[in-house]
Amino acid sequence: MYNGTKVFDVHGHVSAPAAARSWIFGQLASNTAGRSPISGGASAQGELSDEAFKASGQRHADYMGERNIDVQIIGPRPFTMLGWMEDHLFPGWCTFTNDTIQKQTSMFPDRFLGASMLPQQSTAPDLKHVIPELDRCVKEYGFVGSYLSPDPAGHRETPGVNEAYWYPLYERCQELNIPLIVHGTNCMDRRHRPLPQNYQMGFVLETYLATQLFSHTDVFEKFPNLKIVMCHGGGALNRFIPTDRHLSQKDFTKNLFYDTCTYDVNYMECSIKQRGVSQLCFGTEAPGSGGAVRPETGKTSDDMIPIISAIDFLSEDDKLTIFNKNPLKVFPQFK
């Protein structure tokens, strides 16, 4: 909590047992699709047992508790979404991943809400093929959002997020009142190979491009009730002043939101100033990429409530808006 008010975190990822990641290796090695051992009828045991999921989920909940986060939305871990795999394997991986998310949310219903992973195929005519999995996750599992990769395979072949390819998903999310959480995934550009954890480049480049495409096109005119949360502060900041013609002059205050998952304090302050408090939702990815320790505090960089609460240009109401009011506005299932 923050001063007696619950803290809602819009950016988290599933903490399934380690064996959950190794499950896909057999499919990739054999090039044969398998059924999810959780929802496919088989009895999950050993490293995928309820006890194993309970233990991994408890570690996650404890980690959040140490950072005073009350409730967190969890989705797939983007660097393990593996959208580059063969099209006949990817749907099964999505099903299994969503099953693991449901395991964690059902075991800790007061701490976690679910967001789905979708079997996006960049070469398909459109995204109608992801609707059944979205519906399953919303109607059967009670998920409150869905992750969206602007370029799931990482080959820069996916249509821009403003194109008609995406419209079936936008329409269905608008009907279901399900916000989309936009997060980059794998980056297969060979130029990035020398960089450590080069998928982070995909996070920045694809998310920022998506932000610009949403801003400069008519997506929200066609889908006025669609809500989008851009992860990692939107990928990058704008370099122009607000009145510059390079920036959209449209009002997206009802549609386009950004999380606070930007660990550098200077960058975070600039992001809050540029995006505006009204568009900021608290997000940490805890536990995730914010494990580096801040020398000045001795705490990990994803321990963000003390950092944001110390920003002197934010009023007390601004902080409550970021920590609680805005996440609740976008995801009313928070409680």
Cis peptide before 287 (omega within 30 of 0): yes
Q: Is the pLDDT of residue 38 over 60?
A: yes
pLDDT at 7 over 70: yes
Looking at residues 56-83, what average pLDDT do you find?
95
The mean pLDDT value for 83-96 works out to 91
Average pLDDT over residues 266-287: 97
Q: Is residue 48 part of a domain?
A: yes
Average pLDDT over residues 11-32: 90
- 113 contacts 8 by C-beta, under 8 angstroms: no
pLDDT at 40 over 70: no
Q: How many CB atoms lie within 10 A of CB 283?
A: 29
Which range scores top for mean pLDDT: 34-43, 152-161, 253-262?
253-262
Q: Which of 39-43, 94-98, 223-227 has the lowest mean pLDDT?
A: 39-43
Percent of the chain with pLDDT over 90: 79
Average pLDDT (42-59) is: 82
Residues 113 and 69: beta-carbon distance below 8 Å: no
Compute the residue count for the chain: 335
2 located within any domain: no
Whether residue 23 lies inside any domain: the answer is yes
Kindly tell me the burial class for residue 192, based on how many C-beta atoms sit within 10 Å of its own C-beta (0-12, 13-18, 19 or more).
middle
Within 8 A by CB and 6+ apart from 236, the residues are 204, 208
pLDDT value for 44: 52
- Cβ contact 38:96 at 8 Å: yes
Average pLDDT over residues 229-238: 95
Q: Which residue has the higher pLDDT, 191 or 332?
A: 332
**Sheet with 280-281: strands ordered across:** 8-13, 71-75, 112-116, 145-148, 180-182, 228-230, 256-259, 280-281
* Residue 75 reports pLDDT greater than 90: yes
Question: In whole angstroms, what is the distance from residue 21 CA to residue 249 CA?
Answer: 44
In a domain, residue 1? The reply is: no
Q: At residue 242, what is the residue type?
A: P
Is the pLDDT reported for residue 221 higher than 90?
yes
Distance CA 225, CA 243 (A): 26
CATH number where 140 lies:
3.20.20.140
pLDDT tens by residue, 101-114: 999 999 999 999 99
Percent of the chain with pLDDT over 70: 98
Task: Give domain status of residue 281, yes or no.
Answer: yes
Mean pLDDT of the chain: 94
CB 147 within 8 A of CB 117: yes
pLDDT in tens, 131-190: 999 999 999 999 999 999 999 988 889 999 999 999 999 999 999 999 999 999 888 888
Note down the domain range covering 254: 8-330
Query: Which amino acid does the sequence have at 185?
Result: T
* Burial of residue 142, with CB atoms counted within 10 A of its CB: 0-12 exposed, 13-18 middle, 19 or more buried: middle
Q: Of 4-8, 43-47, 56-60, 138-142, which gets the smallest average pLDDT?
A: 43-47
Write down the pLDDT at residue 194. 87
φ, ψ of residue 50 to 5 degrees: the values are -60, -35
Give the phi and the psi of residue 167 in degrees, each rounded to 5.
-60, -40
Decide if pLDDT at 41 tops 60.
no
108/14 Cα distance (integer angstroms): 12
Does residue 47 have a pLDDT over 90? no
Instruction: Output the CA torsion sign for 267, 273, 275, 277.
Output: positive
With respect to residue 302, please indicate whether it lies within any of the assigned structural domains. Answer: yes
pLDDT number for residue 45: 54
Within a domain: 335? no
Indicate whether 319 pLDDT > 70. yes
Identify the pLDDT of residue 46: 64
Determine the Cα–Cα distance for residues 185 and 57; give it in Å rounded to an integer.
23
- Nearest residue to 227 (alpha-carbon basis) of 183, 179, 182: 179
Please give the full DSSP string across 299-326, using - where no structure is assigned: SBTT--HHHHHT-TTS-HHHHHIIIIIH
- Tell me what pLDDT residue 131 has: 98
Q: How many domains does the chain have?
A: 1
pLDDT at 325 exceeding the cut of 90: yes
Does position 215 have pLDDT exceeding 70, yes or no? yes
Output the pTM of the full model.
0.94
165 in a structural domain: yes
